[in-house]
């Protein structure tokens, strides 16, 4: 693996929401709305932050909401405890208005006490999500990676995950990144992603035992570099497409959970965070669970929306 001398920085960080999440996750920039969607998993809530007004609207959900993606027909695709849902949030002030929910596919977890965790759409509009046992102390490798597209919800395409995380896709859409952030694993892998949605063999990408933090949620920038939140270490790490660490950004929270590019120029990096069981030394406990924003000096990529219809069939002349 190539070696580099990474740069270290403590960037200017803005707190963009007054909300403090129990488990903040799944920041998702909507270019059409110019807003940031995000979730509080254990707080059972969907949030919509509008940078233009500073309003962070919130909708309570009936169960834990692991992650969201844009939906091509409007609203969001949401991976919850019991399945995948089409959510249609209606604005109603600071406390969100009506939240219409339609079940698209029930979950088929292999054991009780599981939920969806990390997820996002690939460049072709297919939705990918990981599953996990909620009680991480069990170290149960019962989770997997599933795909949802016009063919429905797949069986696990990757199995044996404890805390599947770090889903992201290369700019060309031909590489899928996946991590396991459980302390017993701490690995990031890459898979070739084929046009039909199938995966190639698993390849080692990053051994996070050599870097600070656990590899939580991730994003890929326009240069194809992989950003991951170093959970428990309070850092953002950027790796080149070859897997070499080239940037380390220090954050004011100990448990950053996921990052996403946003803003009109996609030059803002939004970071959700988790409130730890006890304050961590060297960090500001008043910011635990906050949504943060910084400008890393690079741009991201627009998130693809889930496209439920199959692609048109090519016809021969």
- The Cα-based distances of 147 to 69, 83, 119, 151, 190 in angstroms read 13, 13, 10, 9, 16
Whole-angstrom distance, CA of residue 60 vs CA of residue 47: 9
Whole-angstrom distance, CA of residue 19 vs CA of residue 40: 10
- Residue with structure tokens 């496209």? 307
Report the SS3 class of residue 206. strand
Cα 207 from chain centroid (whole Å): 20
> Which two three-digit tokens encode residue 13?
């960080």
- DSSP 3-state helix, strand, coil percentages of the chain (rounded to 5)? 5, 50, 50
Active site residue 216: yes
Identify the active-site residue in 149, 180, 216, 221.
216
- The Cα-based distances of 18 to 84, 185, 193 in angstroms read 29, 34, 39
Q: Is the dihedral of CA 274, 121, 17, 263 positive or negative?
A: positive
Task: Give catalytic residues, as residue numbers.
Answer: 216
């Amino acid at each position: 693996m190539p070696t580099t001398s990474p740069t270290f920085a403590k960037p200017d960080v803005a707190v963009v929401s007054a909300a403090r999440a129990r488990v903040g996750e799944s920041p998702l920039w909507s270019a059409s709305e110019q807003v940031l969607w995000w979730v509080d998993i254990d707080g059972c809530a969907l949030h919509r932050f509008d940078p233009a007004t500073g309003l962070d609207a919130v909708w309570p959900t009936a169960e834990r909401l692991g992650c969201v993606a844009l939906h091509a027909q409007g609203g969001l695709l949401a991976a919850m405890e019991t399945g995948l849902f089409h959510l249609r949030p209606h604005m109603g002030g600071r406390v969100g208005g009506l939240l219409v929910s339609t079940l698209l596919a029930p979950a088929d977890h292999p054991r009780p006490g599981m939920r969806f965790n990390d997820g996002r759409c690939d460049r072709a509009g297919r939705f990918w999500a990981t599953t996990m046992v909620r009680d991480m102390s069990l170290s149960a490798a019962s989770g997997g990676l599933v795909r949802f597209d016009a063919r429905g919800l797949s069986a696990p395409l990757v199995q044996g995950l404890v805390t599947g995380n770090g889903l992201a896709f290369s700019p060309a859409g031909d590489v899928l990144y996946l991590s396991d952030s459980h302390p017993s694993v701490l690995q990031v892998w890459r898979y070739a992603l084929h046009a039909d949605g199938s995966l190639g063999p698993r390849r080692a990408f990053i051994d996070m035992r050599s870097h600070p933090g656990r590899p939580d949620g991730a994003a890929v920038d326009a240069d194809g570099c992989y950003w991951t939140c170093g959970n428990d270490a309070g850092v953002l790490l950027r790796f080149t497409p070859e897997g070499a660490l080239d940037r380390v950004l220090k954050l004011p929270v100990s448990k950053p959970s996921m990052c996403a590019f946003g803003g009109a120029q996609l030059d803002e990096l939004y970071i959700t965070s988790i409130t730890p069981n006890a304050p961590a030394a060297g960090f500001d406990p008043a910011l635990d669970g906050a949504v943060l924003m910084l400008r890393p000096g690079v741009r991201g990529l627009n998130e693809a929306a889930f496209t439920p219809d199959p692609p048109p069939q090519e016809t021969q002349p």
